[in-house]
Structure formats: C-alpha cells, structure tokens
Amino acid sequence: MTKTNRVAIVTGASRGLGEVIATVLAERGYHLVINAKMAEPLHRVAESLWNRGVRVVPVDGDITDASKRGRLVDAARDLGGLDLLVNNASMLGRIGPLADFDVPSLGRIMPVNAGAPLALIQLALPLLKERRGLIVNITSDAAHGAYPGWGPYGASKAALELITKTLAAELRDAGVSAVLVDPGDMRTRMHQEAFPNEDISDRPLPDVTVPFWRWLLDQDPQAVSGERFAAQKEDVRWLQQV
C-alpha cells in the first residue's frame, strides 16, 4: 500500500472519539468508510473530512444490522481495499446494580459491544488479509474495574477484550493484527449519560487522544498486535516515542 490509497473503516464516527479518529486518519491520507446510527451528524462529519481531500463514504445505520455491515465492507472494497478497521461504536446501557438489572437487555448490549464488532471483523477479513491490516477495538477500564452500576457494559467490554486478544493470536500467521485501546474518561455524550446529574467538564475532550493515534499509525501492526493501550495514561510503550 502507499500513503495515497490506504483505506479505513471507523464505526461510531458521527461525534466524539470516532470523529477524532476519523479526522486523524484523514490527515494521514486515509480514504474512509464511516458509520453511525444517525444520518445527519454522520454526513456532517463526512463533509468535514471531504474538505481534507480524501474520499469518504458515510454509511448510516445500526451496526448490529448485517446489511449495514455488508455495505461498510463493500464500500471499502470499492475504495481499493482495507488497511484499518476501528470498532468504536458502543452502547452504554442502563447504569445500575446487577441485582436490579433487566437481564434480557443483555441481548442488546452484548450484540452492539461485542457481537457486531466480531461479525464486522469476520466480514472484513479477506480485505484485511490482502493488506496485512490492523483491527482496533475500543475498550474501557470498566472491563477490569468491576465498578458498581457498570456491570453489563463492563462485561460486554471484557468479552470484546478476550475476543481481540484471541483474534491477535489466531490471525498472526495470516498477517492481520489486532489491538485494544482504552481511550480513558472523556467529555463525551456517552460519558455524560453515565453521570446524568454530574458536571463532567473536568474531563478532557476526545482530542486528548490524538497523540496516541498518530503514534499507533506509525507502528508496524505485527509489532503491537495483541497489546492493550491506554490512550491517555503514561505508557512507556508509546509515550517515549511520541
């Protein structure tokens, strides 16, 4: 691949972290296929990315919809291939104790946060193998923290973490790499939903992760495959090279 024909898929790209990631990729010359549930904000982001001189295909719709996932991969194929897949789309669900949790709701949270990313990866694998591409799955410290009220969301992210690490091991010989990125607490809509009565203005905006993304894009994917990175915290694996 060359710097002028790299292609990436980014889900959850209509605002917040997903928009930041897509913008960094556009700055690096990646052509983009972006996804989010709502068409209007997604097309707003697409327009801003078009202004950076790259090709952008917005595909709105629920990532748990198999037809939408198919459109994402087809669009990447039409752009020339796939070098990077970023599974950023996520669902918080209700914050509250597990003793009172509506268990059937797991049938929505798990598909969004773990099932859909794996299904999209499976569909994209032929293209990723051709380019020896990289899978980036966005996780959370809730996957390890056992925070009261965050059990279902944390469980879904824990599932995604094991899926990612297993994929990294299984796909190494095929030349496809996979990493986890915990972006940390940020001033986003989803984070505000988790703390509806609190002022979260002390949290940084998602732009705080930009140095990490720039670093990651400069790495040999095989050299970092299987790793879990904290995009805001001091991490000798990447901060010493920024």
Q: What is the pTM of this model?
A: 0.91
**pLDDT tens for each residue of 12-37:** 999 999 999 999 999 999 999 999 99
Q: Which residue has the higher pLDDT, 140 or 3?
A: 140
pLDDT for 196 beyond 80: no
Q: Is residue 188 assigned to a domain?
A: yes
Q: Is residue 221 assigned to a domain?
A: yes
Q: What is the mean pLDDT of residues 57-73?
A: 98
Report the percentage of the chain scoring pLDDT > 70: 87
Handedness of CA 11, 14, 18, 19 (dihedral sign): positive
pLDDT at 94: 85
pLDDT at 122: 98
pLDDT at 184: 80
Lowest mean pLDDT across 41-45, 73-77, 122-126, 183-187 = 183-187
Q: Checking DSSP bridges between strand 84-87 and strand 134-138, what pairing results, if any?
A: parallel
Distance CA 65, CA 84 (A): 21
Q: Is residue 43 assigned to a domain?
A: yes
Q: Label residue 242 by pLDDT band (50, 70, 90).
A: very low
Q: Label residue 194 by pLDDT band (50, 70, 90).
A: low
Least Cα distance to 151 among 140, 165, 162 occurs for 140
Torsion (CA) 187, 192, 195, 199 in degrees, nearest 10: 60
Q: What is the mean pLDDT of residues 160-170?
A: 98
Q: Checking DSSP bridges between strand 56-60 and strand 134-138, what pairing results, if any?
A: unpaired
Q: Which residue has the higher pLDDT, 187 or 216?
A: 216
Question: In terms of residue numbers, what domain contains 65?
Answer: 7-241
Distance CA 69, CA 125 (A): 13
**pLDDT tens for each residue of 79-135:** 999 999 999 999 988 888 999 999 998 999 999 999 999 999 999 999 999 999 999
List active site positions.
Answer: 153
Q: Is residue 197 assigned to a domain?
A: yes
Q: Is residue 179 assigned to a domain?
A: yes
pLDDT for 178 beyond 50: yes
**DSSP per-residue letters across 152-178:** HHHHHHHHHHHHHHHHHHHHGGGT-EE
Q: Is residue 2 assigned to a domain?
A: no
Q: How many domains does the chain have?
A: 1
Q: What is the CATH number of the domain that holds 29?
A: 3.40.50.720
CA atoms within 13 A on the CB side of 111: 10
pLDDT at 188: 58
